[in-house]
Structure 1
Amino acid sequence: MTEDADAEARRLDRAHVFHSWLAQRDLELPIVAGGEGSTVWDHAGNRMLDFSSQLVNVNIGHQHPAVVAAIQEQAAQLTTIGPPTANLTRGRAAERIVAKAPAGFRKVFFTNGGADANENAIRMARLHTGRDTVLSTYRSYHGNTGAAIVATGDWRRAPNQYARGHVHFFGPYLYRSEFWATTPEQESERALHHLRRVIQAEGPQTIAAILIESIPGTAGILLPPPGYLAGVRAIADEYGIVLIFDEVMAGFGRTGRWFAFEREDAVPDLITFAKGVNSGYVPVGGVLISEPIAATFDDRVFPGGLTYSGHPLAAASIVAALDAMESEGIVDHARHIGESAIGPGLRALAETHPLIGEVRGEGVFWAMELVADRATREPVGPDVIARLKGELTSRGLVPFAAENRIHVVPPCVVTEDEVARAMAIYDEALTSVESAL
């Protein structure tokens, strides 16, 4: 393929494709024709390091041969079948997922992605408790469907307020503490007190669920301080509230663990997942259901379903992806590369670049928070982020930007050499932007 194919791709995209979260006029989007591991390229062969994992989902890397082969083999056998059937591949996928979950989980409800996983988890919690209200944090993203977008805390919920019964609260974020905290312990204690007061003010008897990301991703890769997740679990137990952990972005290797909540002794009642479970090779998501909630529907119809729930191509990709991640030690590698390369590399950048206010993360799940002034922690404006994105892209790196942050989120299979190249690119791009400012 040649530059002519790139031109044709751009022409067709501009003419006919309507893109999410973007104003449509004059879009100049990167062209991706192929990929392997942590690298993508256009039709002309220009290669780029993918340190976005696209939308933080290509955990196993691009075009893993075992996953591609599993999809091809399943397509040759049976391309699709409806949910009201028993299918061996679907059953194996559910078995693999349950095997990674904590004790007490026995069922998986498959969805088409993360948003409808959260939709159905909310539905299960409401039916299980007979209550209506769902609590979620302001700094969060749970998807772009009815209840999921209203559960989301950021700006995107405002034009989409069509679902009932949602209340927001502040989660922990020590760098910009809402609680005047100066230590992680203070932040955890005060954030938990705030949550308890919100529950009491709303009326515990009205609250069906607390829905939180184990580690908020799009909102800034906000690692909860010690004791916070366990504290939320204890509060949920005290008031008979279902606890839902959204692991859509953080799950299946991203943090160097199978699930992000494993960093703390806190087990939820429902776990939502998507993205990393099969690295997005085929659209899929789901809800891991604890035994008490699953039993609610033993003799009661669950009023929900999707045409493509447990699609066999998606199921085959899950089986292959999880087996490969297990046999190749990919989750352990993600933890190691975060500890030995990404974390030290970002902290070294923070020492030399005044634009970086804080770096935080684990595994292959990191963020650089950029500030105009380290003393006041004033965030940089969108013009600075746009310029930095341009500098990174021109140097051969696919960035992930959100508000005043650059998220460093390569595939779990990224190598130390690739991390070193990326750190050099971040260094050059930051230097260029700082000199212009």
Structure 2
Amino acid sequence: MKILLVGSGGREHALAWKIAQSPRVSRLVIAPGNPGMAQHGELFPDIKATDVAGIVELATRIQADLVVVGPEAALAEGLADQLARLNIPCFGPSAKAAQLETSKAFSKAFLARHNIPTARYGAYEDVAEAKAALGEYSAPYVIKADGLAAGKGVAISPDRQDAEAEIERMLGGRFGSAGSRVVIEEFMDGEEGSLFALSDGKRAVLFGGAQDHKRAFDGDSGPNTGGMGAYSPAPVFTPEFVKAANDLVVQPTIQKMAEEGTPYRGVLYAGLMATSEGPKVVEFNARFGDPECQVLMMRLDGDIVPLLLACAKGDLSQVPAPSFKPGVVITVVMAAKGYPDSPLEGSIIRGAEQDFGPHVQVFHAGTKRRDDGALVAAGGRVLNVCAYGADINEARERAYEAVAKIDWPGGFNRTDIGWRAIGR
């Protein structure tokens, strides 16, 4: 098989690492890719993930048997739709189905329409109207930009004054067109985790769970980020919770999307809050989470390619359900100083490409190679240091041992990834 993988981050590096292990794959092409992915396939660094025409032309040129889309921005641009017109199988939903992620207002309306459990909400485009609506909620206030904001478009305001300021910032252009509408939600008290499912448009099979760390600094302090670390499995997802989430959220979502004429193919990421009333949807994503994908790929036992292809072709019924290795995988994100607001680019990274042993993988998330061969930072989240262990303590110890071996004065990382699991 010839596979085209779209994207350049840590999520895509993990996918490339896993896909390249498949005996079914004869050629793996990656656009645009990153330096760490070069060992797994052929890079086309000049074709960006959002260059739909360029991706479609490349898929046609290499006669791709499957296109795997990593980032949400490419889905929002309709890449899956364009490939479908050429009968090229694509792992990733259509632009309409991807609205489960790309429009929070669409997603919340869908959930409300089908009685899928979530927080009470309202959507607003006018500053005065949004401020007035705060009176319907109590502190803390949850304010979200409607569109894609790279994981940073959510604010939890402790009081009304802060919430009003956040509304002004979002509707005032802080996130560009993504913030032209805001969603205000009732605050949900509980513990959040991420549950994944693969869907062929008609049915869904569960694909494991993970827990992310969104805040920039230790103790869950600082600004929201795209994710500073993750681990899988997540203890909060007990068997009983997962069954309830599958019955109340995952299966109805796939069924109702199909009934509404927008069948969902690909991976459905359900961000769920474990509340006293059971699972409630915090958000949907239309792709693997980042950095959750990294820990899931390391835990996955067996070949991922048949699963991806079955989703893309619309029939999961003939493929064995995914299985996962026992034990725990943790990832620690190493980010450039200044992230998430203004990350420092160009600092040299040494030691990231050494052999860390069989239990550790370092995935590149925001790197580039200088002409002199030096590896340098080229983004906010730069490296994902992942480690497997028999339990959370062993995985964590291995991950942080590897972090300590990487010489990068221009970066920082949280030192408490996995604290919730350790505290149980």
* TM-score, structure 2 normalization: 0.31
More strand by share: 2
The normalised TM-score by structure 1 is 0.31
Tell which has more relative contact order, 1 or 2 (C-alpha 8 A, sep 6+): 1
